[in-house]
Structures are given as C-alpha cells and as structure tokens.
Structure 1
Amino acid sequence: MYGTPALPPDFVSLPYANAQAPKGGRIILGNTGGFDSLNPFVRRGTVPWQLRFLTHDSLMARSWDEPFTLYGLLAESVEVPEDRAWVEFTLREEARFSDGSPVTVEDVIWSYETLGTEGHPRYLSLWNQIDRIEATGPRSLRITFAEQNRELALIAGLRPILKKAQWEGQSFADAGLTTLPIGAGPYVIDSYEANRRVTLRRDPDYWGADVPVRRGTHNFDEIVLDFYADGAILFEAFKAGELSALREFDAQAWARDYDFPAAQRGEITKTEITNEKPSGMTGFAMNTRRPPLDDWRVRAALIHAFNFEYINDALTGGVQPRITSYFSGSDLAYAPGPAPEDEAALLAPFAADLPPGTLDGYALPQSDGSASNRRNLRKALKYLADAGFTVEEGVMTAPDGTQLRLELVLNKNNRNDQAIADIYAQGLERLGIALDIQRVDNAQFTARSNGFDFDMISFRRALSLSPGNEQRFYWGSEAATQDGSRNLPGIALPVVDAMIDAMLDATEPEDFTRAVRALDRVLTAGRYVIPFASFDRDRIAHIRQMKHPPTLPIYGDGPEYMPQAWWWED
C-alpha cells in the first residue's frame, strides 16, 4: 500500500514460518455448537469457521508480519498503475485445484462475479466497486475499478478462487451440506459428520507447497474439527486428551485452570504469544436502531453503570488492561485529551454533529474498584434524567410510564460474557433498569445478530494494523441497514463515512494514520459499545508435540499462525 514490501523478490519463506518444518501428524481442534454447511462463502447456513483459511487459495496472500503488504500466491505477478485505477494479475502456470484441474482466468472471473452477487455479504462491497473484469491473455486478467480507492487493488487479490465447472447447473448460494466447494488450497475435506466432526486432509499434491508464502506452512497431515455443546464441555475434552490445542481468552482461567494431570505430566504446553495489533473492540454492543439506545445519554449511562474495575478484578484478577478505544494498544489509537490540530481539521466540517467529547477529549469512566460504583451510578442517573427518565418507587421509568427494560443476547458457549452479564445486571438493577439476559446457541446467535434482533449483544470486532474498506462494513452508514453486516450498533454518521474515505484516499502513511486516529476518536466518543478487557496477548494450551517457530509475527496468533505455521514433532 505504501513504499515497498519488506521481503526481497527471492525470499524463501515468511519470517515467522520454518521453511524446514517437517510434514506429518494429526491434530484435533474443538468448536462449540454445530454446522449445517461446509460452504464458507455464502450467507446460508452455519459453517466451521476455519474452513476458508485452509481449503481455498487466493491470487495473493498476506504477510502477517507486515501491514498492507501482499505477496503472490495463485498469481505469479501483479501490475498496477500509479493511480491504482486497475490491477492486472498473471496466474501461475502450475496452479491447480485439488482435483488436479488447472486454475484458469475463467475460474477467477466467475469467482469474483459469483461471490459478489450471490456470496456472503463480506464479498459484496468489492464487486460493487468494480467497473469491469476481463481476460487480457491466456493466464492474465485485469480488474478496472469504478471509483478511486487505493486499497481495492489489494482487496482484489484476496478473494477465494472457486472452480466454475463444479457449479454449472446448480445453485451456488443454496447448495446443501453434501456439496463441498472445490478449492486450490492446502487441505481438502476428507470426511464429515453433520454437527459432530469435520476431517481435513493435507493434499499431498498441493500445487503451492513451494511458493514462498506457503513454504513451511500447513504442515499437519490431518486437522480434525470436533464440535461440542458448549465451552465447558470442550474444556473438559481438552483436559481428557481429546483435543490437541485450546485458545484461552480468560487470563484468570489461564492461571487457575491449567494445572490438571496431563499438564502436570508435561503432556501439555502453555504458550503465550505477544502481538502489536490493535485491541479491537470487545464488549456489549448497543443497538442504536432502537430507542432509547438511539440517545447517546442513555448509552453513556449504561457505560457508567458497567463497573469494569470490579468486574475485571473478580473475573480476571485484574491482570488484563481495559480496551480504551477501537485501536487502543497500537500506533493507530487516538491520544487522550483534546484532538490534535491535524485530527481536529479533519473533523471540523462535522463539528455540529460529532458525538460529545470527540474534539474536547473523551475517556471511559473509572470506578474505585468497589462493588458499589456509587460515583458512576450517580452520573448514570444524571444522564438518564437528562434523557427524560425518572425513578419511581425504585423503577427507572420512561416518559411513557414503562420501565426501562433491555434485552441482552449472549452466545451460551461464551462463559466469560455470561459471568460479566450477571454482575452487570446487578448494577443496572440498582438503577431500576431490568436486564433480560437471553442465552442462545450458535445458530440463534448468528440469526439474531444478522437480523439486528437485539437491544444489546455480545460483540467482538478484531481490528488490524492495516484497516481499510472493511471499515465500511463494520461502521459505515450503508451497512447500518444491510442485514448480515457487521455494523451491529447501527452506526450511521456522515463523519464516520468521511473518515473512512479519508483513510482510503491517503497516499502517505502519515495521512492514513491521522484519518484512522480521527475515526477511532469518533467511534469511541459515540459510546456504541461497553468495552471489556483487552486481549493483550494470545494464549494457547497445546500438546507438547505441536511446535511453532521462535519468530512471532507482529499480528500474533490467529488461524494464519496456529495451525498454519505450526508443525508436529515427537
């Protein structure tokens, strides 16, 4: 995106991959809930989330050690003009699907059009920004964009490529569980049992094993995905030796619960992985499409009623820092206090409509750590009074005489969120607010979040050091009304759209950073999410046979790191 890639043209492998890693071994990973589809590229159905990282290749691939940098995968070369009005890819002659057939320009063009018109909503935005896509040679194609957007050339390189011939005469969007999409990736689905298990087998004839971005990765011969009813049962399965690895997001549980017999015998290793990525946002999102959550004062009151210091101490031992903004913990985060002159200049045209505190400086409330949270509850009462609510016989009453009652939707497999919600409900009860906690399964949770059917909902949005067009899908006004979008709070502010545009239009890294910080400032001051603790490091407990390179990517853990860069060693 800016400057030149860090790796030279003749690089051997990615810095965090072991080019000499042995191939072999079988690992079992656990998921909660179930699945009724094995097509991760359409909206229909519940799919094992790991599939799209393992079974399909794209024209280019990320380096998780560099923001905004891609290297060739299916494409052996890429060409862009100075203004990035188009991008041209040339396919590798050796690129093959798992059935041995060649990956053609026709497959690529069909994949882009089909994903853009029938695929999951995450693919729609790019297609709407493409003017035309056309073959320019036997192994080359050009994508011309409909608007000026410097990141589109990179996004275009990351779409999964599917085999056109497989779908002739049948519906791509409505295909059932038995139709397995053919890909060109390192793994193929070997077998499955609906809602119970998926077995992935490493393709011994994988075409891209020696492509530099793939060398030393995808080393396990077999990856099994087992499904459990909930997180508690999954953890017991790990303790019993039925799973090979488990990611732990609770620092207190990490310190408390991993001293079981297998760990004492040295059969289990605890690995902590640092990262330099933004905190992202984890918490309870508030649906501004519904009153009274469309009033920032009500949202401010609900944030003040959330006694973070007490909850964090009770559930994590106070060892995890709080998320303070969407990009906190990184260079992209806005600095506390009033907006610097350069950020203020970007925001100035929207001054009349900015969330309170955007320019002057907004910070999350802090409590004294006691259970009472008296000072913040008093402030919450003041916000609610300003919004027209009154307390009548201990009940927070709206102007129409009804009690302020909110429904919070949780995934029943998330034990940590349930514990947080139970404590939070007690604080709201002291304000006379009723919190109805709905614990639902994976399928129901997905359906309710896709349809924005909630007052409040568990929310996790991971963010990267290279934010781009996906920010429109996360926070943009158009996405606020698009079913299935990730804009769960329903944010629809012209200033947010403008900051995303400024970020995408930037030609220098300094301009890009300034726009992201301004966006971060607006989103945080908008009080859309009640933030939890930050995942300041990644924690993986795993069998001792699972090994990883000593060099860590700046992004830390993720599916592109474990299992992709790990290997088996007795």
Structure 2
Amino acid sequence: MKPVFFPAAGAFVALWMSSSIVIAEPQHGIAMYGEPALPPDFVSLPYANPDAPKGGKIVTAEVGAYDSLHPYIQKGTVPWQLRYLIGESLMGRSLDEPFTLYGVLAESIETGPNREWVEFTLNPAATFSDGSPVTIEDVMWSFETLGTEGHGRYRSFWDQVGSMTAVGDNKVRFEFSTDNRELALLAGMRPILKKAQWEGVDFTESGTSIVPITSGEYVIDDFEAGRFITLRRNPDYWGDDIPFMRGVGNLDEIRLEFFGDETAAFEAFKVGEVNSNREFNVAKWESQYDFERVNNGDYVLSVLPHQRPSGMTGFVMNTRSPQFDDWRVRDAMMHVFNFEFVNEAMTGSAQPRITSYWSNSPLGMSDGPAEGRVREFLEPFADELLPGALDGYALPVSDGTERNRAGTAAALDQMEAAGWTIQDGVMADAKGNPFTFDILLEVGSSENAAIIDMFTQSLERIGVTPTIRTVDNAQYKEATDAFDFDMTYYRRGLSLSPGNEQYAYYGSEFANEPGTRNLMGVQSAAVDEMIGRMLTSESQDDFVAAIKALDRILTSGRYVIPIYQWNISRLAHAKELKYPETLPVMGDWPGWQPDVWWYEE
C-alpha cells in the first residue's frame, strides 16, 4: 500500500510539505509541452457556446445491450458513453489542443520543476449530485480505490504514485515514483466518486442496483437494463460558471436507446424515435439518407473534418495463438485480405485505407527508410525488429479484382516459408494438420460480417477455412477479456498526445493480463522502449520521433489487418440540435457531442 498522509499525521509532514512547494506557482491549466493556449481569465472553451440555451434532448441509437451502470470497474458491460457523461475529474481536457487540461473540480494545479510531483487545490464550491460537498477525502479515496480495485485503465497510473498526501483541507499532493512527465496530467483526469456511498459495499461488483454518485452535470434518471438509459441535466449542478464548463451540458435530457442490430437502429432513426445518428459507412451515407425527414429538412446532414490520427481499425490477430505467432503467417493474411475489393464493395472506394496507427497526422511514420532520431531510436533493436521497420514498410495493394492473383501468390509464398503448404486443396503443415483459425464477431455488426465474408472467400483460395463465431455483447466481452479468439474486430482511437495508455494497448506487462487492451499480445522490448521514450521526452522533437518509431514497429509487426479510416465524421441529426461553428482539432470526439450541443426550436 502506498503512503497516504492526512494533516493529522503531524507537524513534521506539514513542515516538509511547506518547504518543498515554495518553488511552484498555482496555475489554471497545464499542457504536456509548453503553456496552455487559453489564459487564466478565459470565458469558455473555443468550441463551446457560453450563450447556448438550456433545454431539449438528444436520443441516440446504440447497438447491443448492457448489464451494468458502474463504468469504473472491470466487470460488466457498460455503455461506453456513461463514464464521460456522469463522471467528473479534477481537470478537464480541451479537444482543441494536443494535450492540455483546465480546472474543473480543481481550481488550480502546481507541479515540480520536472513534474516529479503535482498538487491540486480543490474548488470549495464543488458538490456531488446529491448536494454533499466534494472533499479531499473523497478525492484520495477515489484515487486509491480505482487504482487497486477499479478498471484496468486506472492501475498503471496508481502503480507509479509513490505517495499521496492531504495538504490542509483543500489540497492533495502526489509524489511519483517514476520519471514520467505525463503523470501530472493523468492525475487530473481520474474520476472522483463519493466515498460514503461505497461504505460496506463491494466496489468491484457490477450491476444496475447501484448508480455511482458523481459531481458531473448529468445524472441517470431512468433506465431499463438492455433497452434504454435516460440521463437528465442536474438543475443544481455546481459548476455551471466554471470557464471549462460554460456552454457545456446544455441539453436537458440525453437518452440512449438500445437495439439488437444496425438495421433496427437505423429504422428507429428514420421514423424519429432517435434524433441523432453517427454514420460510419460512406456508401450508406450516399445511398440511404434520402428518406422523408432528410428531404423535408427535419434532419440535417453534417460532414465534419478533424485533424486527429486515424487510429487502428481492422481485424487483429492474436499472437498468443500458435496460428499467428509467426509473422510470416500474419503477413500472408495481409496479402490475402483484398482491401481494394472490399473497399469498393463496402464504400464505393470512397474511404482511404488506414496506413499506420498514426496515419492522417504529423505523428504517423514516414514512407521509406527510417531517418534521423527515429532511426537512432530503432537501431539498438535491429535484431528484434521485423522486416520493414527500419527499411520501410507499406501495406499490400491489390489490383482491385476479386481474385487478387498477386496477393494470393504472395500469401502462398509466406505460408510455405512458415511451414504450411496446400495438400489436397487444404493448407496444412508437414504432418498434415490443417491450418485453420476462428474469427470472433459481435452480434449486430452487419458491416464486419460482410467484410469477413469476403475475407473468407479469399482465404478459400489458399486452402484455409476459418470458423466464424458470432456471440452477444456479454459473451464477446468475456471472450476478448480472456483473449479467447484467434482473430477479431479491433478499434483503437489514438490522439495527438499519446501517453501511458499505450502501455495498456501494446506494453509487454499487459500482454498476458486478462481484461487489458493488448489484444494482439505484443511483447516487444522495442515497443516498451519507444513508449518509455515518448513519456520521458523533454523536447517535442524527441516526443514525435518516439511515436513515429513506435508506429513503425507496430505497423511492420503485422498485428492488425487495417480497413478504412474516417478523416471526417458524418452525423445526421434533427434540425433543432445545434453545435458551434468552431470545431475542435479533435473534431467529433468524446467531449463534443452531446457536451457542447444545444437544442433550439
């Protein structure tokens, strides 16, 4: 257990604390590099409307179901939006800067010269939704509980906290045990819960019987497990006049409606049961959005650009499975997957392909051989790196025809190099054991099912017949948490300011820890080193070089078969739902809709 100090610990602690904080000055915000863009007296976020009217509602369609309202633990299936809508942290993240935080529950922040410690001063006006004050005791309890019993996303930070200390009645200080400049910012982003609610209650139990009490602008008003959740704006929300929150939380009601599949969800939108719909399929956007409510102006079609990285979307191969522990087999799968044919069938070739984890951004790897600092970072691991990491790697490109002869031939060559050949029409090893694998899909995703159907037909040309396993939401989560799959759908949204979460995505220590997000099972000293460099860089140039190097390692690792990227967002919504003309750099991202939207007749 980490040292946790309260004022009653004695005069020595107070003297020690007072002697060590005089070098710092309280600030209204903090940036990963440089200074926050907004001054201390800023009125509101640049992409929020401080004069937005209050009222109205937004209703969205969600495919699947849920069985828990507790988004802060590992167990249970929780709507992904819930932790963003009801939660609140010491500081809030601006979507208009790569990584900058401004005060919410904390009215100020101060750090050491090398960010080896951080101290937050709690806003004395802060209250939970039940009207009780947010205290330093609540803050400290939340950090320790989330770090030891909460969801895996909170544990890495807590493992790097050397001590947590109460300074008087309204300050908390964290001393860090590792050299990691991002930790001071991550501390500002942990959700704060009410300690008294959980006394005598098992925090790790999921379900719908307990709704966490938080201090955010929305509270859960009504729900029916698996069918809908209604959140209402708290009329007594304490933070309406905080600069970060002006123009945020304008809608009186947010309702999430749940459907069994995408077809039912879209039909609900067409008839008005749902009034906002985010469309990911460009072909569908072009061909199926000419129904009455669009044509008569009741619905607006909004196309919104962004400047964030593509992230990685596609189908991940589990390297823990013997089928995919050989990179040459993974490379064969890359060649068999006929992206150009799939893209034409699914989008009319309108969507560009993801080319790396940080493509569409300044952080993406460059074409050709690694140069400069990127090469310098990679060369110590030359013997470990796969072909392409140092000399340059690009995804296979087919001729767009269904047969994909060149891709099929390249796949056969790689499979043979890995010890697999076609025997009597079946891909098999030297002992005649057939090569096969299972593909795990979630119920309701017709688009993924259609893509996999085309992939399966391509696999038949090299004598491979995979097993398609389609399960419900709860079973899917259970299977992916246990890494019980050979291949499955994969989506990782990445930002312009990647940080500690990269360990959870790709770090060796998480490769075999159930419930973590390293689905491909990558264990690489080079990956770990690049993440470490990224977190400890003292210059922007080294920070960018470390990410570009990491991008090269992951992309050339052939862990995920990428599909298309979304460089724009497509939202169809009721004409009464408005958003500010100024769009944030991150575009349509958690923190934007429904946060800064409003309803206007």
Compute the TM-score of the two structures, normalised by the length of structure 2. Answer: 0.94
1:498 to partner: Cα distance: 0.2
Three-state SS of the structure 2 residue aligned to 1:405 is coil
Partner of 1:397: 428
Pick aligned residue for 1:173 from 194, 200, 204: 204
Between 13-22 and 395-404, report the one with greater CA deviation: 395-404
Pairing 1:161-560 to 2, within 5 Å after superposition = 161-560=192-591
Identity %: 54
* d(CA) in 2 for partners of 1:473, 1:413: 27
Letter paired with 1:142: R
Q: Is the 8 A contact 1:412 1:418 kept in 2?
A: no
* d(CA) in 2 for partners of 1:440, 1:536: 30
Q: Is the 8 A contact 2:356 2:364 kept in 1?
A: yes
Partner of 1:144: 175
Q: Is the 8 A contact 1:499 1:516 kept in 2?
A: yes
Three-state SS of the structure 2 residue aligned to 1:399 is coil
* d(CA) in 1 for partners of 2:243, 2:88: 14
Q: C-alpha offsets along residues 42-98 of structure 1, whole Å, 9 cap, x if unaligned?
A: 111111211111112100000000011100100000000111111000000100000
Q: Is the 8 A contact 1:57 1:161 kept in 2?
A: yes
Pairing 1:48-67 to 2, within 5 Å after superposition = 48-67=79-98
Three-state SS of the structure 1 residue aligned to 2:254 is strand
The count of corresponding residues between Structure 1 and Structure 2 is: 570
Pick aligned residue for 2:74 from 38, 43, 53: 43
Query: Is residue 6 from structure 1 mapped to residue 37 from structure 2 by the alignment?
Result: yes
* d(CA) in 2 for partners of 1:58, 1:399: 57
Between 30-39 and 466-475, report the one with greater CA deviation: 30-39
Three-state SS of the structure 2 residue aligned to 1:417 is helix
1:412 to partner: Cα distance: 2.1
* d(CA) in 2 for partners of 1:114, 1:342: 40
Compute the TM-score of the two structures, normalised by the length of structure 1. Answer: 0.99
Query: Is residue 155 from structure 1 mapped to residue 186 from structure 2 by the alignment?
Result: yes
* d(CA) in 1 for partners of 2:521, 2:366: 25
* d(CA) in 2 for partners of 1:292, 1:47: 32
Q: Is the 8 A contact 2:108 2:122 kept in 1?
A: yes
1:175 to partner: Cα distance: 5.0
Q: Is the 8 A contact 1:37 1:177 kept in 2?
A: yes
1:341 to partner: Cα distance: 2.6
Letter paired with 2:376: A
Letter paired with 2:431: D
1:229 to partner: Cα distance: 1.0
* d(CA) in 1 for partners of 2:43, 2:445: 40
Moved over 4 A (4+): none
Partner of 1:16: 47
Three-state SS of the structure 2 residue aligned to 1:90 is strand
Q: Structure 1 residues 175 and 378 mapped into 2: Cα distance closer, same or farther (>3 Å)?
A: closer
1:420 to partner: Cα distance: 0.6
Letter paired with 2:256: L
* d(CA) in 2 for partners of 1:175, 1:421: 33
* d(CA) in 1 for partners of 2:372, 2:255: 53
1:544 to partner: Cα distance: 0.8
Instruction: Please report the RMSD computed on the Cα atoms of aligned residues, expressed in angstroms.
Output: 0.8
Q: C-alpha offsets along residues 108-165 of structure 1, whole Å, 9 cap, x if unaligned?
A: 0000000011101111111111111110111001011111110000001000000001
Letter paired with 2:254: I
Between 172-181 and 338-347, report the one with greater CA deviation: 172-181
1:559 to partner: Cα distance: 2.8
Which runs of no fewer than 5 residues in structure 2 stay unpaired?
1-31
Q: C-alpha offsets along residues 410-443 of structure 1, whole Å, 9 cap, x if unaligned?
A: 1122221111100010000111011211122211
Letter paired with 1:244: N
* d(CA) in 1 for partners of 2:407, 2:207: 52
* d(CA) in 2 for partners of 1:218, 1:314: 40
Q: Is the 8 A contact 2:373 2:542 kept in 1?
A: no
Letter paired with 1:426: Q
Q: Is the 8 A contact 1:111 1:164 kept in 2?
A: yes
* d(CA) in 1 for partners of 2:549, 2:103: 33
* d(CA) in 2 for partners of 1:312, 1:174: 43
Three-state SS of the structure 1 residue aligned to 2:437 is strand
* d(CA) in 2 for partners of 1:116, 1:561: 27
* d(CA) in 1 for partners of 2:82, 2:390: 43
Q: Is the 8 A contact 2:356 2:555 kept in 1?
A: yes
Pick aligned residue for 1:109 from 135, 140, 143: 140
* d(CA) in 2 for partners of 1:564, 1:161: 19
Q: Is the 8 A contact 2:90 2:189 kept in 1?
A: yes
Q: Is the 8 A contact 1:151 1:468 kept in 2?
A: yes
1:99 to partner: Cα distance: 0.5
Which runs of no fewer than 5 residues in structure 1 stay unpaired?
none
Partner of 1:561: 592
